[in-house]
Structure 1
């Protein structure tokens, strides 16, 4: 009875609060959805007697680069509270200024949206897939106000609305402020809905894709397995706002594959063909994005606070926020049974080998790699870059550092492991929502594993770019890490043969045979070791040097802007390492491996 009275009291307070607020109110219609348009009307009321600055965002939560969302806004019109049309002026490409209003501005516009993904919006006859910063304008100086958005759903569409916003009924939803609104992607479609209470909170899957009930049921069970194993890492679920977390999963042919975390939801998107079985589509993305409910949404870098919707957001902590999340992505799948432990182990070596051999470590440490996110995180430009030589994705770099830290802790054989370190960071930084810096992470590791260990790990692998002893660490975890082609010759370049010539898919990597020979991406490769590529039908040009050995010199003929030339190329030895399950591991290593990979 006491709980019922308390619930009634809270609902009454919430209702009174809603009635007493001045809202920024949005209304949306989809009458021309076949042509990817939405009609949007926003009412800003109780305004001060000065120019209203209406903005379109240039960045989006979970993304670190700038995106020009305003380019898809047109047919703008503003009126006052009496319906009188107001003049709209432009101070910059992302803003509309309205003066002379009577305390109310009704701002109307058409939005074009045709890229359903984690960052952009997509509208058609099957759904309205809305990433909020790519969809809605907002008003400077009024972003503290609560938001209501009303969706006018097309008649006969069977569309429903899924979002982390509070459902007020009648297809109307509430956010406490503009930031929460911007962080609340929305899927409107005739989607499958599954729900499950986990530790007292509702986990929802809103899945927009053609699939049978049996497929969706099996898929949801796989999702729940991941949810439970991730909760086991941290010891609990976060306290989700309104007691719900929603997977907004959109798997349709015209979608753009992506995943994007938000405070109480995630967009997981795939361009899955309609006739392909659902299977485990994007399950790795599901795992990655849900882990973000702790690591980045609540265990949050101070560099991302406050989040700017008007510029790029730079953070030096993405090796941890994104990279350690990437480490757990498939580890959790192995623990939940989504993949086998052997599949997981056998898939680790490629990423480790890539980072070990990447020339980018000569230029930037993991912190500095994270700083480069605004240049690479779905950012677009037309001038060439040299990222193949100077950049390593903070997702991959961070994931192999997370792996090294976990193995290092486990091989101490004192009960330490990365799970419990993450739980410690959760209790000290995430649960109380105290934003962290790199030095805070170092301090938390010192508290958990000792000051000497933390100082050494951070000084060697975070503030510098030195690599851990992966071969030794893997061996102690019951995993073989070796070069399956040791001694084999290689050009160490990806060359695609089209028509009669070959070309590199990226800039020549520093120190590789083609780089040292002065061959670059723009060169057309005519022949390798005497074989013309005009007749070559293979997929890997290293086949053309299989009879050679490292150190041998071959000739590579190229065409550089119409001039043919022959280059002397000294072959290198293959450095590609791979990991595999060690069936002959000793009992101690097998026990560590079992503890590492088993369900919690």
Structure 2
């Protein structure tokens, strides 16, 4: 169980616990540098191991934050330099101190998103694992941190950390500190009260107060609809939850959940598409306040800052949250039912037309997170044929489960509420078997066993045609010509841009990523538009492709198939019962 209450109880038992102190300043922000100072008092061992994290709460892949640290220096209480050894790339072993170890270093940071830090003259956007070192043996010690804000830039501090005074904040232990991103900038702040708790929204942007007001109204409606799913808000520490939104041209699009806050970043301003484009991340991340932060997979407890973190439950933790993202936008009347229903099409096709389902079920897709969750690598992969995002896969499974339950006069809202009662409020981490047993408790053994056997432990597609019909939705195939490869225009010609889809006409014809399309049936092809038009309008079952590979001209015959893509739309001829079911599903609660 990860509760701040336990941390405070721990401190009360040990009496005068020593506090590790941190300080960060931004004199050279224009060049993306910060100066960090840390003091570890009452060190009892001769050698203290100082580390930089390799991962971050909410991420599952490794991120070598240490690469942006330099000018490391260790001193004792008198300012005398201490002996330092490096036995791995991530840590410093500091020895022969006098009971106090002081650390100083320079941090370079220039990526504003949900994982990394960014420092410039617009803000200090700090993800704590990417910013501060730690001593693992002191993980239960409280931490006090002072942010030396740039007053000349009118900077303020927004964070879930407890404010002690001015720009000094505290955390009860290392995990809470690492889980507390901080936005320091000239942001605007709005808030509202719900069930005796404060919901804050700190917005760093270049827009107007009127735009913020319109956006914040949507945020408030979303928060209330998500609370309605579970029947109550989580008990937020210090009685508040903080959105840390940074919609600036120098950041990268992202969202990352934390216990009592979330980071929201995007280049789009509210006036330039962000009013519509960014709000989905708000809905997704706040839903995580229940699902992931408190209804939490057992494999993530305790979270490991030195190794990749893996769980097979991401189809539920991330995927079901993704299902609710779109549903909440509809219930909050940010999107219309028509927009929501038709918006299902892209994700639906991505999942159910993927060859990857031959290789992995949703649990095994979740195990791929350390390799895909903002992970980086230089060697090519075959992800087009072996991976479906657990966000998308879980989303369409959440849709299927909800509509299946509704045919039994049940619903996914009440199932999620039961998961909350059993594993969220109690903060007892769950295993996959616990999700199944809870579904059995809610919907019966036969229903739950069949759903898990077919769709979780295997990759069988649910009967969406019947499920959609029950809520007045049509599911249809396009039926046009199908090639099975994506192309892009380059200076060398029209290139197949990704691995061809396994089993597709292009795959069977031996075409591969990097091949340069020269002509189709002797017709020269130079643009993506020409390519798509020629394939779509072909009256033949096969086309002759002239292409170039590694400088060699080749010819192959592609036997075109029927486009496997689906369209999802509202059924204008739906029955009254189906329309009533749809209204019950999509209406505001």
- Would you call these one fold, judging by a TM-score over 0.5? yes
Q: SS where residue 279 of structure 1 aligns?
A: helix
1:356-402 Cα shifts (integer Å, max 9, x gaps)? 11000000000000000000001000000001100000000000000
1:396 aligns with 2:392: yes
* Pick aligned residue for 2:573 from 577, 584, 591: 584
Q: SS where residue 141 of structure 1 aligns?
A: helix
* Pick aligned residue for 1:311 from 295, 307, 312: 307
Q: How big is the shift at 1:51?
A: 0.5
Residue in structure 1 matched with residue 513 of structure 2 by the alignment: 521
Residue in structure 1 matched with residue 355 of structure 2 by the alignment: 359
Residue in structure 2 matched with residue 541 of structure 1 by the alignment: 531
Once residues 424 and 298 of structure 2 are traced to their aligned partners in structure 1, the CA distance between those partners, rounded to angstroms, is: 12
CA contact under 8 A between 2:494 and 2:518: conserved in structure 1?
yes
1:295 aligns with 2:291: yes
* Pick aligned residue for 1:571 from 540, 544, 560: 560
Once residues 579 and 79 of structure 1 are traced to their aligned partners in structure 2, the CA distance between those partners, rounded to angstroms, is: 65
1:444-481 Cα shifts (integer Å, max 9, x gaps)? 00000000000000000000000101111111111111
Once residues 13 and 361 of structure 1 are traced to their aligned partners in structure 2, the CA distance between those partners, rounded to angstroms, is: 47
Q: How big is the shift at 1:498?
A: 2.5
- Structure 2 counterparts to residues 372-411 of structure 1, below 5 A: 372-411=368-407
Once residues 250 and 224 of structure 2 are traced to their aligned partners in structure 1, the CA distance between those partners, rounded to angstroms, is: 32
Once residues 546 and 358 of structure 1 are traced to their aligned partners in structure 2, the CA distance between those partners, rounded to angstroms, is: 21
Once residues 64 and 537 of structure 2 are traced to their aligned partners in structure 1, the CA distance between those partners, rounded to angstroms, is: 52
Q: SS where residue 275 of structure 2 aligns?
A: coil
Residue in structure 2 matched with residue 9 of structure 1 by the alignment: none
Once residues 394 and 26 of structure 1 are traced to their aligned partners in structure 2, the CA distance between those partners, rounded to angstroms, is: 37
TM-score (norm 1): 0.94
* Pick aligned residue for 1:501 from 493, 497, 518: 493
Q: SS where residue 78 of structure 2 aligns?
A: coil
Residue in structure 1 matched with residue 504 of structure 2 by the alignment: 512
CA contact under 8 A between 1:369 and 1:393: conserved in structure 2?
yes
Q: How big is the shift at 1:87?
A: 2.1
Once residues 150 and 446 of structure 1 are traced to their aligned partners in structure 2, the CA distance between those partners, rounded to angstroms, is: 50
Q: How big is the shift at 1:284?
A: 0.3
CA contact under 8 A between 2:211 and 2:270: conserved in structure 1?
no
1:531 aligns with 2:523: yes
* Pick aligned residue for 2:259 from 244, 258, 263: 263
Q: SS where residue 510 of structure 2 aligns?
A: coil
CA contact under 8 A between 2:487 and 2:528: conserved in structure 1?
no
Residue in structure 1 matched with residue 124 of structure 2 by the alignment: 128
Once residues 547 and 562 of structure 2 are traced to their aligned partners in structure 1, the CA distance between those partners, rounded to angstroms, is: 23
Residue in structure 2 matched with residue 6 of structure 1 by the alignment: none
* Pick aligned residue for 2:449 from 447, 451, 455: 455
1:197-244 Cα shifts (integer Å, max 9, x gaps)? 111100000100012211111111110100000000000000001111
* Pick aligned residue for 2:175 from 166, 176, 179: 179
Count of residue pairs brought into register by the alignment:
582
Once residues 121 and 231 of structure 2 are traced to their aligned partners in structure 1, the CA distance between those partners, rounded to angstroms, is: 43
Residue in structure 1 matched with residue 436 of structure 2 by the alignment: 442
Structure 2 unaligned spans of 5+: 1-7
Once residues 391 and 273 of structure 2 are traced to their aligned partners in structure 1, the CA distance between those partners, rounded to angstroms, is: 29
User: How has the CA–CA distance of structure 1 residues 512 and 523 changed in structure 2, closer, same or farther, with 3 Å as cutoff?
Assistant: same
Q: SS where residue 580 of structure 2 aligns?
A: helix
The range that moved more, 85-94 or 184-193, is 85-94
User: How has the CA–CA distance of structure 1 residues 541 and 218 changed in structure 2, closer, same or farther, with 3 Å as cutoff?
Assistant: same
* Pick aligned residue for 2:472 from 467, 478, 484: 478
Q: SS where residue 26 of structure 1 aligns?
A: strand
Once residues 277 and 496 of structure 1 are traced to their aligned partners in structure 2, the CA distance between those partners, rounded to angstroms, is: 25
Structure 1 unaligned spans of 5+: 1-11
Residue in structure 2 matched with residue 52 of structure 1 by the alignment: 48
* Pick aligned residue for 1:489 from 464, 481, 506: 481
Q: SS where residue 327 of structure 1 aligns?
A: helix
Q: How big is the shift at 1:18?
A: 12
The range that moved more, 53-62 or 349-358, is 349-358
Residue in structure 2 matched with residue 141 of structure 1 by the alignment: 137
The range that moved more, 209-218 or 356-365, is 209-218
User: How has the CA–CA distance of structure 1 residues 222 and 275 changed in structure 2, closer, same or farther, with 3 Å as cutoff?
Assistant: closer
Q: How big is the shift at 1:538?
A: 4.7
Once residues 476 and 210 of structure 1 are traced to their aligned partners in structure 2, the CA distance between those partners, rounded to angstroms, is: 46
Once residues 232 and 37 of structure 1 are traced to their aligned partners in structure 2, the CA distance between those partners, rounded to angstroms, is: 44
Once residues 473 and 309 of structure 2 are traced to their aligned partners in structure 1, the CA distance between those partners, rounded to angstroms, is: 39
Q: SS where residue 424 of structure 1 aligns?
A: helix
Once residues 18 and 285 of structure 1 are traced to their aligned partners in structure 2, the CA distance between those partners, rounded to angstroms, is: 41
Once residues 444 and 13 of structure 1 are traced to their aligned partners in structure 2, the CA distance between those partners, rounded to angstroms, is: 31
Q: SS where residue 92 of structure 1 aligns?
A: coil
User: How has the CA–CA distance of structure 1 residues 422 and 213 changed in structure 2, closer, same or farther, with 3 Å as cutoff?
Assistant: same
Q: How big is the shift at 1:330?
A: 1.1
CA contact under 8 A between 2:111 and 2:251: conserved in structure 1?
yes
CA contact under 8 A between 1:349 and 1:481: conserved in structure 2?
no
User: How has the CA–CA distance of structure 1 residues 407 and 273 changed in structure 2, closer, same or farther, with 3 Å as cutoff?
Assistant: closer
TM-score (norm 2): 0.96
1:57-102 Cα shifts (integer Å, max 9, x gaps)? 0000000000000000001111101111112221111101100000
Residue in structure 1 matched with residue 414 of structure 2 by the alignment: 420
